[in-house]
Amino acid sequence: MSQVIKHSSNPIFKHARLLADVGGTNARFALEVARQQFEAIEVLPCADYPSLLEAMQSYLNGAAVKKVRDKSHLPVVDAAIAIANPVDGDKVRMTNHDWSFSISDLRQKLDLSNFLVVNDFTALAMALPYLDATQRQKIGGGVELPGRCVGLIGAGTGLGVSGILPVGQSWVALASEGGHATFSPSSPAEVAILQSLWQQYDHVSAERLLSGKGLEQICHAISGLELDAAEITRQALEDSCQASSQTVAHFCAILGSVAGNVALTLGATGGMYIGGGIAPRLGRLFSQSAFRARFEAKGRLSTYLAQIPTYLITEEYPAFLGVSAILEEHLQQKNAV
């Protein structure tokens, strides 16, 4: 990337920072004890906890955190959470899980000085400037242009869409719910899939297909089989089930079409990134799929899309980089007042 967010030259913190990436299935936690130094990383299943507060308390009271705090002697004063949900005001109710909470109430109960809650794909977008060649895999051709908009899409429990715009020496993330935009088929087979989903839903969004549940719905639409997403992925990687292999092929092609739509909409000539939990698990099935061909297949604008590089994010916990940057910027601005 051509630009980075400027931070303090002193990487050592006086207080540990609690970071979290909360999805519909798992909540990932870490302590940041120095600039981009993440320790005590743990993944907790959301279904195991009645509330986000209890998940956070379980993490903070766990052995891994105790070990870090005993070693560093740093109290946890500030926290920032990326969550798979729109964040507008104090009240948050998750779309893909049953947790709901008040941001101010959580801050008080956890005795935090600063507590930020941001959309998960806003955080992931803010991580993009920090990814190096070992944390991303280029899919296809194209060359990113410096100082231009960068796009982001990712399928997991749901479908996230975001991007970042350069502003001076920094970046501004876009808040978006583009995953809920209407799905548009690009082939007769996809028309048949859409017609199948219309029997259940008045509105079929891109997320209905590009998610874990989406894999299951595609599989059922093309084969009538009731398989869960993990089984579909496993069988496709093993090449042991034709329906699963076809499902993954459809999924990758549709993801390419939607990524191309996002790139066109944003003018993402700084590059288009693919995040989420599904695509990285597919490995060679994704890199060898029709994703890139469908990304470029935009008629008169195909040449424009061919010049935009696409990158698969391979870093295991990329959102920590972004939510760390957002918290750092907030603290700098607060201290400057």
DSSP assignment string, 18-35: EEEEE-SSEEEEEEEEET
Tell me what pLDDT residue 222 has.
97
Q: Which two tokens stand for residue 177?
A: 């719910």
* pLDDT(335) > 80: no
Q: Burial letters for 264-278: b for 16+ Cβ neighbours within 10 Å, e otherwise?
A: eebebbbbbbbbbbb
* pLDDT(7) > 50: no
Average pLDDT over residues 117-122: 90
Fold match flag (12-125+317-336 vs 133-313): no
Confidence of residue 11 (pLDDT cuts 50, 70, 90): low
Please list the helix, strand and coil fractions of the chain in percent, rounded to the nearest 5, in that order: 45, 25, 30
CA atoms of 45 and 64, how far apart (whole Å): 17
Q: Which residues contact 320 (CB under 8 A, 6 or more apart)?
A: 19, 21, 28, 30, 32, 38, 41, 127
Mean pLDDT across the chain, nearest whole number?
92
How far from chain centre, in Å, is Cα 231?
22
Q: Which residues contact 154 (CB under 8 A, 6 or more apart)?
A: 121, 124, 160, 274, 275, 276, 277, 279, 313
The domain limits of the chain are 12-125+317-336, 133-313
21-52 pLDDT tens trace: 998 889 999 999 988 899 999 999 999 999 99
Taking domain 133-313, whether its CATH number is 3.40.367.20 is answered by yes
* pLDDT(336) > 80: no
Tell me what pLDDT residue 3 has.
35
* pLDDT(258) > 90: yes
Say which amino acid occupies 68: V
- pTM here is 0.85
Q: Give 12-125+317-336's CATH code, choosing from 3.90.420.10, 2.20.25.90, 3.30.420.40, 2.40.50.140.
A: 3.30.420.40
Helix (H) or strand (E) holding 116: strand 114-119
CA atoms of 159 and 84, how far apart (whole Å): 9
Tell me what pLDDT residue 8 has.
40
CA atoms of 207 and 157, how far apart (whole Å): 9
Tell me what pLDDT residue 337 has.
62
* pLDDT(2) > 50: no
Residues of the chain with pLDDT > 70, as a percent, come to 96
* pLDDT(1) > 50: no
**Candidate from 61-70, 95-104, 122-131, 327-336 with smallest mean pLDDT:** 327-336
Tell me what pLDDT residue 85 has.
84
Q: Which two tokens stand for residue 315?
A: 């870093």
